[in-house]
Amino acid sequence: MQPERGNPSITVDAKGVCAGFRSVGAVAGDVLMYHGSLSSMGTVLDGGNTVIEGARLAVGPTGTVAMPTLWYHSVDPPLDPSDWDIDHSESYVGTLSETFRTHPESLRSDHFSHSVSAIGSRAPELVSDHGAGGLRHTPWGPRAFAGVSPWARLVEWNALYCFIGVTFRVLTLKHYMEAILLDEISQTIPPVKREAAMGKLSAIGRPGIWPSFNSETLEGRLADMGLVRYGEIGSATVRAIRARDLIDHGLPLLREAPDEWFSDAFLAWCREAVS
Protein backbone atom coordinates (compact mmCIF):
# COMPACT_ATOMS: atom_id res chain seq x y z
CA MET A 1 0.00 0.00 0.00
CA GLN A 2 0.99 3.64 -0.34
CA PRO A 3 2.54 4.60 3.03
CA GLU A 4 2.22 7.90 4.88
CA ARG A 5 4.52 10.55 3.46
CA GLY A 6 7.55 10.93 5.70
CA ASN A 7 9.12 14.21 6.75
CA PRO A 8 12.87 13.87 6.03
CA SER A 9 13.69 16.78 8.35
CA ILE A 10 12.66 14.58 11.29
CA THR A 11 15.47 12.28 12.43
CA VAL A 12 14.69 8.98 14.14
CA ASP A 13 17.03 6.94 16.31
CA ALA A 14 16.56 3.68 18.22
CA LYS A 15 15.39 5.48 21.35
CA GLY A 16 12.70 7.22 19.32
CA VAL A 17 11.56 3.90 17.87
CA CYS A 18 11.51 2.38 21.35
CA ALA A 19 9.48 5.32 22.72
CA GLY A 20 6.98 4.99 19.87
CA PHE A 21 6.44 1.28 20.48
CA ARG A 22 6.23 1.85 24.24
CA SER A 23 3.59 4.57 23.69
CA VAL A 24 1.30 2.01 22.04
CA GLY A 25 1.74 -0.58 24.76
CA ALA A 26 4.99 -2.52 24.28
CA VAL A 27 6.38 -3.76 27.59
CA ALA A 28 9.43 -5.69 28.73
CA GLY A 29 9.14 -9.37 27.77
CA ASP A 30 6.58 -8.66 25.02
CA VAL A 31 6.29 -10.30 21.64
CA LEU A 32 6.18 -7.40 19.18
CA MET A 33 5.23 -7.94 15.54
CA TYR A 34 5.41 -5.05 13.08
CA HIS A 35 4.63 -4.19 9.48
CA GLY A 36 6.00 -0.90 8.22
CA SER A 37 7.32 1.71 5.86
CA LEU A 38 10.84 3.06 6.34
CA SER A 39 10.31 6.37 4.53
CA SER A 40 7.18 7.26 6.55
CA MET A 41 9.21 7.85 9.71
CA GLY A 42 11.41 10.63 8.27
CA THR A 43 15.17 10.08 8.23
CA VAL A 44 15.96 6.92 10.17
CA LEU A 45 19.60 6.81 11.23
CA ASP A 46 21.05 3.52 9.93
CA GLY A 47 17.65 2.58 8.41
CA GLY A 48 15.93 -0.71 9.18
CA ASN A 49 18.56 -1.89 11.67
CA THR A 50 17.71 1.06 13.90
CA VAL A 51 14.06 0.02 13.84
CA ILE A 52 15.06 -3.50 14.90
CA GLU A 53 17.23 -2.05 17.66
CA GLY A 54 14.42 0.23 18.86
CA ALA A 55 11.91 -2.61 18.83
CA ARG A 56 14.30 -4.77 20.85
CA LEU A 57 14.82 -1.96 23.35
CA ALA A 58 11.04 -1.71 23.74
CA VAL A 59 10.67 -5.39 24.68
CA GLY A 60 14.00 -5.77 26.49
CA PRO A 61 16.29 -8.81 26.64
CA THR A 62 13.47 -11.23 27.50
CA GLY A 63 11.28 -10.03 24.64
CA THR A 64 10.88 -11.06 21.01
CA VAL A 65 10.43 -9.00 17.84
CA ALA A 66 9.02 -10.28 14.57
CA MET A 67 8.14 -9.24 11.03
CA PRO A 68 6.41 -10.86 8.08
CA THR A 69 9.07 -11.82 5.51
CA LEU A 70 6.80 -12.88 2.68
CA TRP A 71 8.24 -14.10 -0.60
CA TYR A 72 5.50 -15.53 -2.84
CA HIS A 73 3.44 -12.87 -4.60
CA SER A 74 1.91 -12.06 -7.91
CA VAL A 75 4.50 -11.16 -10.55
CA ASP A 76 5.00 -11.81 -14.24
CA PRO A 77 6.37 -14.40 -14.89
CA PRO A 78 4.76 -16.09 -11.84
CA LEU A 79 6.88 -17.43 -9.00
CA ASP A 80 6.93 -21.18 -8.45
CA PRO A 81 6.36 -22.24 -4.80
CA SER A 82 8.87 -25.06 -5.31
CA ASP A 83 11.60 -22.42 -5.80
CA TRP A 84 11.13 -21.22 -2.20
CA ASP A 85 14.45 -21.17 -0.35
CA ILE A 86 14.21 -20.26 3.32
CA ASP A 87 17.77 -18.87 3.34
CA HIS A 88 17.70 -16.85 0.15
CA SER A 89 14.14 -16.02 -0.95
CA GLU A 90 13.85 -12.27 -0.48
CA SER A 91 10.98 -10.61 1.32
CA TYR A 92 8.86 -8.51 -1.03
CA VAL A 93 7.15 -6.47 1.71
CA GLY A 94 9.61 -3.61 2.00
CA THR A 95 13.04 -2.58 3.20
CA LEU A 96 12.22 -3.03 6.90
CA SER A 97 11.21 -6.62 6.29
CA GLU A 98 14.19 -7.47 4.07
CA THR A 99 16.59 -5.85 6.57
CA PHE A 100 14.95 -7.90 9.31
CA ARG A 101 15.29 -11.14 7.29
CA THR A 102 18.99 -10.58 6.72
CA HIS A 103 19.82 -9.55 10.31
CA PRO A 104 22.43 -11.99 11.69
CA GLU A 105 20.21 -13.04 14.62
CA SER A 106 17.02 -13.39 12.59
CA LEU A 107 15.31 -16.78 12.37
CA ARG A 108 12.72 -17.51 9.68
CA SER A 109 9.74 -19.83 9.47
CA ASP A 110 9.61 -22.28 6.61
CA HIS A 111 6.67 -21.32 4.41
CA PHE A 112 6.88 -20.18 0.79
CA SER A 113 4.17 -17.54 1.01
CA HIS A 114 3.70 -16.42 4.62
CA SER A 115 6.94 -16.86 6.48
CA VAL A 116 7.61 -14.90 9.67
CA SER A 117 11.06 -13.88 10.90
CA ALA A 118 11.89 -13.27 14.53
CA ILE A 119 14.72 -12.17 16.83
CA GLY A 120 14.84 -12.64 20.60
CA SER A 121 14.08 -15.03 23.41
CA ARG A 122 11.08 -16.81 21.89
CA ALA A 123 12.19 -16.53 18.26
CA PRO A 124 13.11 -20.23 17.84
CA GLU A 125 9.71 -21.31 19.16
CA LEU A 126 7.81 -18.66 17.21
CA VAL A 127 9.17 -19.67 13.81
CA SER A 128 9.29 -23.44 14.32
CA ASP A 129 7.17 -26.07 12.55
CA HIS A 130 5.23 -23.73 10.27
CA GLY A 131 2.19 -25.76 9.25
CA ALA A 132 3.05 -28.93 11.18
CA GLY A 133 -0.57 -29.33 12.33
CA GLY A 134 -4.03 -27.78 12.45
CA LEU A 135 -4.22 -27.48 8.64
CA ARG A 136 -6.81 -25.11 7.12
CA HIS A 137 -7.71 -24.40 3.52
CA THR A 138 -6.23 -21.14 2.18
CA PRO A 139 -5.31 -19.84 -1.29
CA TRP A 140 -1.69 -20.50 -0.30
CA GLY A 141 -2.15 -24.12 0.74
CA PRO A 142 -3.17 -25.67 4.07
CA ARG A 143 -0.02 -24.80 6.06
CA ALA A 144 0.13 -21.01 5.62
CA PHE A 145 -2.28 -20.12 8.45
CA ALA A 146 -2.45 -23.46 10.21
CA GLY A 147 -3.18 -23.95 13.91
CA VAL A 148 0.52 -24.79 14.29
CA SER A 149 2.20 -21.75 12.76
CA PRO A 150 3.81 -18.47 13.80
CA TRP A 151 0.52 -16.73 13.03
CA ALA A 152 -1.38 -18.90 15.50
CA ARG A 153 1.36 -18.39 18.10
CA LEU A 154 1.19 -14.60 17.77
CA VAL A 155 -2.45 -14.93 18.78
CA GLU A 156 -1.85 -17.51 21.53
CA TRP A 157 0.92 -15.34 22.98
CA ASN A 158 -1.16 -12.16 22.61
CA ALA A 159 1.56 -10.34 20.68
CA LEU A 160 1.47 -6.59 20.24
CA TYR A 161 0.71 -6.30 16.50
CA CYS A 162 1.97 -2.97 15.11
CA PHE A 163 1.98 -0.93 11.90
CA ILE A 164 4.45 1.91 11.15
CA GLY A 165 3.18 4.47 8.63
CA VAL A 166 0.70 1.98 7.15
CA THR A 167 -2.81 0.93 8.12
CA PHE A 168 -4.51 -2.37 8.88
CA ARG A 169 -4.72 -2.75 5.11
CA VAL A 170 -1.49 -4.76 5.34
CA LEU A 171 -2.75 -6.89 8.23
CA THR A 172 -1.44 -10.33 7.24
CA LEU A 173 -3.19 -11.87 10.25
CA LYS A 174 -6.46 -11.14 8.42
CA HIS A 175 -5.84 -14.27 6.37
CA TYR A 176 -5.66 -16.28 9.59
CA MET A 177 -9.10 -14.89 10.47
CA GLU A 178 -10.44 -15.69 7.00
CA ALA A 179 -9.10 -19.24 7.25
CA ILE A 180 -10.76 -19.78 10.63
CA LEU A 181 -14.11 -18.50 9.35
CA LEU A 182 -13.92 -20.66 6.26
CA ASP A 183 -13.01 -23.65 8.40
CA GLU A 184 -16.07 -23.05 10.59
CA ILE A 185 -18.33 -22.79 7.56
CA SER A 186 -16.83 -25.80 5.84
CA GLN A 187 -17.65 -27.96 8.89
CA THR A 188 -21.33 -27.30 8.21
CA ILE A 189 -21.26 -28.38 4.55
CA PRO A 190 -23.10 -31.68 4.07
CA PRO A 191 -20.51 -34.42 3.31
CA VAL A 192 -21.98 -35.17 -0.12
CA LYS A 193 -21.47 -31.59 -1.26
CA ARG A 194 -18.19 -30.97 0.45
CA GLU A 195 -15.67 -31.88 -2.24
CA ALA A 196 -17.46 -29.93 -4.96
CA ALA A 197 -17.90 -26.89 -2.72
CA MET A 198 -14.28 -26.84 -1.58
CA GLY A 199 -13.19 -27.19 -5.21
CA LYS A 200 -14.64 -23.76 -5.96
CA LEU A 201 -12.39 -22.05 -3.40
CA SER A 202 -9.23 -20.24 -4.30
CA ALA A 203 -6.13 -22.46 -4.06
CA ILE A 204 -2.47 -22.29 -5.13
CA GLY A 205 -2.46 -21.40 -8.81
CA ARG A 206 -6.27 -21.47 -8.93
CA PRO A 207 -8.29 -18.28 -8.65
CA GLY A 208 -11.60 -18.81 -6.87
CA ILE A 209 -13.76 -17.86 -3.96
CA TRP A 210 -12.28 -16.63 -0.71
CA PRO A 211 -13.78 -14.72 2.26
CA SER A 212 -11.66 -11.61 1.87
CA PHE A 213 -12.75 -8.58 3.89
CA ASN A 214 -11.73 -4.95 4.22
CA SER A 215 -9.21 -4.80 7.05
CA GLU A 216 -9.15 -0.99 7.13
CA THR A 217 -12.87 -1.03 7.90
CA LEU A 218 -12.11 -3.54 10.64
CA GLU A 219 -9.46 -1.18 12.03
CA GLY A 220 -12.12 1.55 12.32
CA ARG A 221 -14.55 -0.75 14.11
CA LEU A 222 -11.91 -2.01 16.54
CA ALA A 223 -10.66 1.55 17.12
CA ASP A 224 -14.24 2.58 18.00
CA MET A 225 -14.16 -0.18 20.62
CA GLY A 226 -10.96 1.35 22.07
CA LEU A 227 -8.80 -1.62 21.06
CA VAL A 228 -6.38 0.14 18.68
CA ARG A 229 -3.71 2.42 20.10
CA TYR A 230 -2.13 5.21 18.05
CA GLY A 231 1.25 6.85 18.58
CA GLU A 232 4.16 8.20 16.54
CA ILE A 233 7.60 7.15 15.41
CA GLY A 234 9.20 10.20 13.84
CA SER A 235 6.69 11.48 11.30
CA ALA A 236 4.84 8.14 11.06
CA THR A 237 1.73 7.03 12.84
CA VAL A 238 2.25 3.80 14.73
CA ARG A 239 -0.86 1.68 15.24
CA ALA A 240 -1.11 -1.30 17.57
CA ILE A 241 -3.58 -3.92 18.71
CA ARG A 242 -3.16 -6.97 20.89
CA ALA A 243 -3.46 -10.05 18.68
CA ARG A 244 -6.05 -11.65 20.93
CA ASP A 245 -8.20 -8.50 20.87
CA LEU A 246 -8.06 -8.62 17.09
CA ILE A 247 -9.29 -12.20 17.01
CA ASP A 248 -11.66 -12.15 19.99
CA HIS A 249 -13.41 -8.94 18.88
CA GLY A 250 -12.78 -9.00 15.13
CA LEU A 251 -14.07 -12.50 14.37
CA PRO A 252 -17.45 -11.91 16.07
CA LEU A 253 -17.95 -8.75 13.96
CA LEU A 254 -17.39 -10.81 10.80
CA ARG A 255 -19.59 -13.68 11.99
CA GLU A 256 -22.46 -11.45 13.09
CA ALA A 257 -22.91 -9.52 9.85
CA PRO A 258 -21.32 -11.41 6.93
CA ASP A 259 -23.31 -9.34 4.42
CA GLU A 260 -21.38 -6.25 5.52
CA TRP A 261 -17.98 -7.80 5.00
CA PHE A 262 -17.92 -10.41 2.25
CA SER A 263 -18.40 -10.41 -1.52
CA ASP A 264 -21.65 -11.52 -3.13
CA ALA A 265 -19.75 -14.42 -4.68
CA PHE A 266 -18.62 -15.71 -1.29
CA LEU A 267 -22.06 -15.24 0.27
CA ALA A 268 -23.67 -17.14 -2.65
CA TRP A 269 -21.06 -19.92 -2.25
CA CYS A 270 -21.97 -20.21 1.45
CA ARG A 271 -25.70 -20.40 0.75
CA GLU A 272 -25.21 -23.06 -1.89
CA ALA A 273 -22.63 -25.05 0.09
CA VAL A 274 -24.48 -25.32 3.38
CA SER A 275 -28.04 -25.70 2.03
Ligand X SMILES: CC(C)(COP(=O)(O)OP(=O)(O)OC[C@H]1O[C@@H](n2cnc3c(N)ncnc32)[C@H](O)[C@@H]1OP(=O)(O)O)[C@@H](O)C(=O)NCCC(=O)NCCS
Show contacts with ligand X in window 43-72 (CB under 6 A): 43-44, 47, 68, 70
Q: Is 246 in the site for ligand X (CB under 6 A)?
A: no
Applying CB under 6 A, the span of 31-39, 54-62, 124-132, 178-186 interacting with ligand X comes to 31-39
Applying CB under 6 A, the span of 21-29, 89-97, 217-225, 254-262 interacting with ligand X comes to 89-97
Applying CB under 6 A, the span of 87-95, 122-130, 179-187, 249-257 interacting with ligand X comes to 87-95
By the 8 A CB rule, do 227 and 171 touch?
Answer: no
Shortest Å distance, C-beta 228 to ligand X: 17
- The C-alpha atoms of residue 51 and residue 200 are separated, in whole angstroms, by 42
Shortest Å distance, C-beta 268 to ligand X: 26
Query: What is the DSSP secondary-structure string of 116-136?
Result: EEEEETTHHHHHTTTTSBS--
Residues 6+ apart with CB under 8 A from 46: none
Question: Which residue is at the shortest CB distance from ligand X?
Answer: 94
Show contacts with ligand X in window 109-168 (CB under 6 A): 166
User: Starting from the edge strand earliest in sequence, which strands make up the sheet with 64-68, in order?
Assistant: 107-108, 116-120, 64-68, 31-36, 160-164, 236-242, 229-233
Q: Is 16 in the site for ligand X (CB under 6 A)?
A: no
Phi, psi values for residue 211, rounded to 5° = -80, 60
Shortest Å distance, C-beta 91 to ligand X: 9
By the 8 A CB rule, do 32 and 159 touch?
Answer: yes
Q: Is 89 in the site for ligand X (CB under 6 A)?
A: no
Element (H, E) at 222: helix 215-224
Q: Is 170 in the site for ligand X (CB under 6 A)?
A: yes
Give the residue with the Cβ less far from ligand X, 59 or 164.
164
Q: What separation in angstroms does the CA of 113 have from each of 88, 124, 141, 142?
A: 14, 19, 9, 11
Q: Is 96 in the site for ligand X (CB under 6 A)?
A: yes
Give the residue with the Cβ less far from ligand X, 140 or 269.
140
- The C-alpha atoms of residue 222 and residue 58 are separated, in whole angstroms, by 24
Residues in contact with ligand X by the rule CB under 6 A = 1, 3, 35-40, 43-44, 47, 68, 70, 93-96, 166, 170, 172
